[in-house]
Amino acid sequence: MTSPTSPAPTLDDLRARVGEVFGFDELRPLQAEATEAVLAGRDALVVLPTGGGKSLCYQAPALVLPGFTLVVSPLIALMDDQLRSLEGHGVAAGVFTSTQEPEERDATWERLRAGELDILYCSPERLALPGFYERLVSLGASRLAVDEAHCISHWGHDFRPEYRMLGELRRRGSRLPIVALTATATPRVQNDIVAELGLEDELRLVGDFDRPNLTYRIVPRRDTSTDVYGVVARHAGDAGIVYVLRRKDAESLASDLAARGVRCRPYHAGLDGAERRSVQNDFLSERIDVVVATVAFGMGIDRSDVRFVVHASLPKGVEQYSQETGRAGRDGLPSECVMFYSGADYHGWCSLMERSSAEADEAGVQGAREELRESLERLSELWRFAGSALCRHRFLVEHFGGTFHGSIEEGCGACDVCLGELETVPDGQVVAQKILSCVVHCRHTYGAGHVANVLRGANTARIRELGHDRFTTFGLLSTMSQGDVRTFIDQLVSKGLLLVAPGQYPTLALSKTGAEVLRGERDVELFLCRRPQSVAGRTRSRSGSRGPSPILDDPDLDSELVESLRALRRRLASERGVPPYVLFNDRTLVDLVSKRPSNTTELLDVVGIGAKKAEDLGEILLAALGGA
């Protein structure tokens, strides 16, 4: 801990300590500005995408400032993960959690009294305990970092009432400077965070939300198990997360993938705590490659080498989608994000939200109807995004108030739209008019499945009984598959040309703009997806070793040596009882192989290796490289 009488540290002092401790030569964009604000004791709001280096914005100043940084975090797993990582770098950090034994908490208090800690993590609930915050201030807390700050906002996607009490700290007279950090905050949510925390003259830093190392694909769902396995097979042996909507989906899909030879387990809130921790530890320790999970999984999982994230169904909104896909490629290496969707997801979410709102309204919960309106708006925005042919990178950047710097003509080069994987349907205008006409013939009283059957000329008893086989639209799209027709209907809904009536059995109706398309007064385009081909899954040896990862197919890189170092990392991590990525991530492995250091001085030039890691692991790494 720095002495209060030491000269005020400068940004150059901080950079030197970051290099020494964390092994980074440079600060990322906006990290310098954020850390400089903390050094100056100024309030700040830092909005950086997942993997953008938010944590360093409060961890680095703690290395050079007097006192300690108090960090509020929403999950025990998140705090424990940060703690292990910091300890691996030799940073003096502690934590207060509800799972600690009394003697563990006593030991942390003793370290605080002795002035030994630079960083202390705790939950918002614990901070609300009478006298707890004041005691920490008396022991040297000199600044407050609020992680996952979007949780304080009613307009955020993950509102947590316990975060609201953080605003009381300022109202109670606390003058500790506050830095609030989040990865998912629209301009509206940013304003709410500032107001709720009582930030004054804050420096607001909003990063570039473009993640160029991520390739986004959004694909109509056909068969969930086959669709998802196609992505997993492209990344055989790599770490991945598959998100599903329901607990039973997690169980069944994990079972299907396991039957195909994938090392995976399900994760959802219905499992007991011990089982959830077991899945989480297996994933972090690389004993399994894939977790099939509900949204209960993810926050606090800091594994940086997740190479793919799959949404097997539509998420609740753009913020959730951005946060969950952001768990891929945190090490900056190429990764893939695929979302499979269907109209059933959209209607299912609508029904669930409406039921929840009705129950809350009956129970007298204030603001239930307003919350429903906000939730449906967020869902509809994502639904329109899924059914459009907009550049995925551009959309996400602009959604969070940023400016996309790529060329419209050249595109991002890293999404299905800009890679040319969406094919415009010839005569799409005519196809759309046939669908819209069929909805009119069905008198706005039937759903997408029935409309598709009529258009395809399905010879069913139901259609014959209703006399819909006599419609002029019957069989007009008989050469198309059921899946393609349903995809086109979904696109027309997402474009607002068809309306969907709420209820257990959603029915289709023509909108005003849909009528304009039907009359030829408005143009519309439809498209189909050309799916990337799956590759055969790589085989494993009896020892469970993996073939080279697709991200390491660079012919100039010794991928066998990278895999050898991965195996060494797993062994060392097992011996130390920590997840492998805590020792060093894939980016460090690639840099080790590229630079081939032969001594400790050269080893310190490798990204992610600071003085403590060089001292602890340098001899072993140099021996592994020298014997290659």
> Confidence band (pLDDT; 50, 70, 90) for 504?
low
pLDDT-wise least confident of 70-74, 80-84, 201-205, 259-263? 80-84
Hey, which residues does 71 pair with through a beta bridge? 121, 145
- Tell me if 119 sits within 8 A of 92, measured CB to CB: yes
Tell me the per-residue pLDDT of 388-444, one tens digit each, with 9 for 90 and over.
Answer: 888 999 999 888 878 887 766 678 899 999 998 998 998 999 999 999 999 999 987
Q: Return the CATH number at 462.
A: 1.10.10.10
pLDDT score at 234 = 92
Per-residue pLDDT at 543 exceeds 50 = no
Per-residue pLDDT at 546 exceeds 50 = no
Do 62 and 169 sit in the same domain of this protein?
Answer: yes
Per-residue pLDDT at 575 exceeds 60 = yes
> Confidence band (pLDDT; 50, 70, 90) for 343?
confident
Do 414 and 514 sit in the same domain of this protein?
Answer: no
Q: Residues 138-158: what's their mean pLDDT?
A: 83
Give the N- to C-terminal CA distance of the chain in Å, as an integer.
41
Per-residue pLDDT at 539 exceeds 60 = no
> Confidence band (pLDDT; 50, 70, 90) for 203?
very high
Name which residue leads in pLDDT, 208 or 389: 389
**Residue 439 within a domain:** yes
DSSP designation for 157: T
**Residue 534 within a domain:** no
| Other C-beta atoms lying within 10 Å of the C-beta of residue 620 | 12
> Confidence band (pLDDT; 50, 70, 90) for 4?
low
Tell me the per-residue pLDDT of 458-480, one tens digit each, with 9 for 90 and over.
Answer: 999 999 999 999 999 999 999 99
pLDDT score at 531 = 63
Per-residue pLDDT at 537 exceeds 50 = no
Which residue bears the tokens 């509102």?
159
Do 142 and 21 sit in the same domain of this protein?
Answer: yes
Tell me the per-residue pLDDT of 306-321, one tens digit each, with 9 for 90 and over.
Answer: 999 999 999 999 988 9
> Confidence band (pLDDT; 50, 70, 90) for 534?
very low
Tell me the per-residue pLDDT of 579-588, one tens digit each, with 9 for 90 and over.
Answer: 888 888 888 8
Per-residue pLDDT at 350 exceeds 90 = no
Torsion angle, alpha carbons of 260, 264, 267, 270, to 10:
60
**Residue 536 within a domain:** no
Do 220 and 341 sit in the same domain of this protein?
Answer: yes
Q: Which token pair is 260?
A: 């195909």
Of the CA atoms within 13 Å of residue 249, those in its CB half-sphere come to 16
- How far, in Å, CA of 305 to CA of 95, rounded? 26
Per-residue pLDDT at 254 exceeds 90 = yes
Of 277-286, 429-438, 612-621, the range with the highest mean pLDDT is 429-438
pLDDT score at 300 = 57
pLDDT-wise least confident of 50-59, 62-71, 257-266, 281-290? 50-59
pLDDT score at 542 = 25
**Residue 62 within a domain:** yes
- Nearest to 569, CA basis, from 41, 88, 27, 59: 88
Do 370 and 451 sit in the same domain of this protein?
Answer: no
pLDDT > 90: percent of the chain: 45
pLDDT-wise least confident of 144-148, 212-216, 527-531, 587-591? 527-531
pLDDT-wise least confident of 200-214, 466-480, 496-510? 496-510
Q: Domain total for the chain?
A: 4
The secondary structure of 320-389, three-state, reads HHHHHHCCCCCCCCCEEEEEEECHHHHHHHHHHHHHHHHHHHHCCCCCHHHHHHHHHHHHHHHHHHHCCC
pLDDT score at 544 = 35
Do 94 and 194 sit in the same domain of this protein?
Answer: yes
Do 218 and 251 sit in the same domain of this protein?
Answer: yes
Tell me the per-residue pLDDT of 57-108, one tens digit each, with 9 for 90 and over.
Answer: 999 999 999 999 999 988 777 788 788 889 888 999 999 988 888 999 999 9
- Indicate if the alpha-carbon torsion angle 71, 74, 80, 82 is positive or negative: negative
**Residue 60 within a domain:** yes
Residue span of the structural domain in which 610 resides: 550-626
DSSP designation for 109: H
Per-residue pLDDT at 547 exceeds 50 = no
Q: Residues 561-566: what's their mean pLDDT?
A: 88
**Residue 4 within a domain:** no
**Residue 542 within a domain:** no
Strand runs labelled E in 96-140: 119-122
- Nearest to 269, CA basis, from 242, 236, 296, 309: 296
Do 388 and 428 sit in the same domain of this protein?
Answer: no
- Of 206, 240, 257, which closes a domain? 206
pLDDT-wise least confident of 15-29, 229-243, 478-492? 15-29
Do 226 and 199 sit in the same domain of this protein?
Answer: no
> Confidence band (pLDDT; 50, 70, 90) for 155?
low
pLDDT averaged over every residue in the chain = 86
- Of 398, 420, 442, which closes a domain? 420
Q: Return the CATH number at 199.
A: 3.40.50.300
Name which residue leads in pLDDT, 406 or 350: 350
Name which residue leads in pLDDT, 383 or 77: 383
Q: Residues 327-356: what's their mean pLDDT?
A: 88
Do 312 and 395 sit in the same domain of this protein?
Answer: yes
Per-residue pLDDT at 169 exceeds 70 = yes
pLDDT-wise least confident of 60-64, 252-256, 280-284, 545-549? 545-549
Q: Return the CATH number at 571.
A: 1.10.150.80
- Of 206, 226, 243, which closes a domain? 206
pLDDT score at 471 = 94
pLDDT score at 122 = 93
Q: Residues 266-273: what's their mean pLDDT?
A: 90
Do 408 and 484 sit in the same domain of this protein?
Answer: no
**Residue 576 within a domain:** yes
Do 591 and 618 sit in the same domain of this protein?
Answer: yes
pLDDT score at 42 = 94
